[in-house]
Structure 1
Amino acid sequence: MQNRELQIMRQLHHVNIVQLKHCFYCNGEKPDELYLNLVLEYIPDTVYGVARQLQKAKQYMPIVLVKIYIYQICRALAYIHSTGICHRDIKPQNLLLNPRSHVVKLCDFGSAKVLQKNEPNVSYICSRYYRAPELIFGATDYTTAIDVWSLGCVCAELLLGQPLFPGESGVDQLVEIIKVLGTPQREEIEAMNPNYTEFQFPQIKAHSWSKIFRSRTPPEAINLLSKMLVYDPKNRVKPLEAAAHPFFDELRQENLKLPNDVPAPELFNFTLQELSQVDVSTREILVPPHERNSTNWPVLEDGSWPDAAARATS
């Protein structure tokens, strides 16, 4: 008996993805019931839990923690997307968090799937507030860019202290998105789902991002969100390019310390497989000189990289 979640989890090995330790089957109450149990590494909290505590205390999450949590999930997404896997349910509840070390790990691959070209996928996936517009439009040929949209929604929520696009239904949700991004252009609608290009949408102007967030929100955060929350999936920033965005530059400083003088978790232990998704100039941003070693910076004696991706861009 094959289980998609188990198959996917068995092939994932990354610092920002929850580890599968063991699995076993057990019988249910009825004779034909068989349950698969996955045993995962223990991580005590979630980004959702921590955000809720802050919300109840009427406090905002420190910006440096927003950076460190979102950055780690950018890495997790870049890794799974490089294997063709789309998570399809990115939300704060699925971001496990060790509040002491600030290590974040992506969990719950129950909706995840390897996306194959020309093979339709169900559009009713992903939790409400984090659903990409193409899913609301019923697209079945979507890409891993739906995860980037969801992560943009999570990032905005941590900055705002509440969901960016709350809505009780798909239509509600779309209204909330249009209120912020404005009415999609015809070509954007076509990129999401060509069946809707003739549909008459109310003409609404885009809202300025800076007016949505409180005044102390860094402009780099708003700039990153404007690259993640884009109607056309092809134009959304890729996860590892997002990790190289100036919003995360603070994390690349030497001797970075988090609140209460906690040392930062490991952020630069990239593998060549991860880095091969981006060009050399992006790698130079992602791995600061003071963090380079033979694993994350396997440059040959002549200064070239051992992978084809770097050779193609040099």
Structure 2
Amino acid sequence: MQRRLGKRMLSLLLVMLAVTTACEKKRKSRYVQGDGEYVYALNDFKGATYTLKTGKKRTPGVTTRADELVVNAGSSVMRSFNSVEFELDTDVGDFSSSTMNNFDFYGKEDSEYKVQVDFTEEKLVFFQIAPKEEIPSNVITYSEDIGNGQFRVPLFGLPLSKVTVERIKDDRGKSTNQIRTYEKKFLSEATHFLVNVNTPAYFDSELKLDMLPSKFFDEKNEWFYEVTVVDKPVALDSSGLELGMQLGNGKFRFAKTNNSVLAVDLNIADEAVGQDAEKLNVIFEIPVQWMDYRLVKTGDDAYLKEEAFNSIEEGAKFWKDREFALLQLDRVLSIDAASTNNIKIKRLEVGDDYFSF
């Protein structure tokens, strides 16, 4: 009896399963022809994260005019990373350095980075999520502090179509099994979206070469300097200058003007103390643009463009209060020449308390 009952129950379950499956197929909704391909639900992507994997170096980082950049370990004033190969697999498509030829990702080789997506009215934007020490200093200007030591850096965006998914009604006004998408003007009206993975919009950043935080040139701090021969042209072979020869040393402080930074010698007579910076013994002068930067957060370019300001008329702060300094090291005015325009900077070395060029 038990075996026969078992057979009957098994047969009954199979019949019920077959009937249920058949009913589901009959009730399944379908998009109308030509609609519904690659439609994604907005809620499925809010806060979605992915892993970007890097490979080998592609090109050097773009942070200086110098032939060689040396950043002292742990420096908080300048960070530089090379452009590296990368692969990013997401639910809307796969992206890589081989398919995005005009896009650079700056980071460490053979590493992994967290990427998060977010929506604007026009784009699905991909952001790198990382601590400050993993972000190049020329990129931090448009990053956002999201707390817990993490920053959000926009990378690229995909054109976005905002839609709802609704059932089509028949002539009697009743819902059918067919559904279609209806385009919406605002993200708040939509439930789903479509993207075009073939036309990504890359972040449009400002070029920032030899940029340091303005606070690096704190006028209250004292520095020690040395002037050393590291190279000389053939024309000076008979000058008696030898590589490694020290030409001068002493103490100095930085003094700011509206368009430069002065290195002011502190080995001065007592009567000169308190005079204007321009009247003191200047060791060298670096032409500077004092800059403010801002991430665009509205319009078609929201979170995909950076704006630069170097005047109050454009929206910048007073020059002394601006956050960044763009140094023109190739136009330094030095102690032993009236002008050194267009000099070649072979090596720039920077640390929190060290500066050499």
The TM-score by the shorter chain falls in which range? under 0.3
Higher strand share: 2
- Given the two structures, how large is their TM-score scaled by the length of structure 1? 0.22
- Given the two structures, how large is their TM-score scaled by the length of structure 2? 0.20
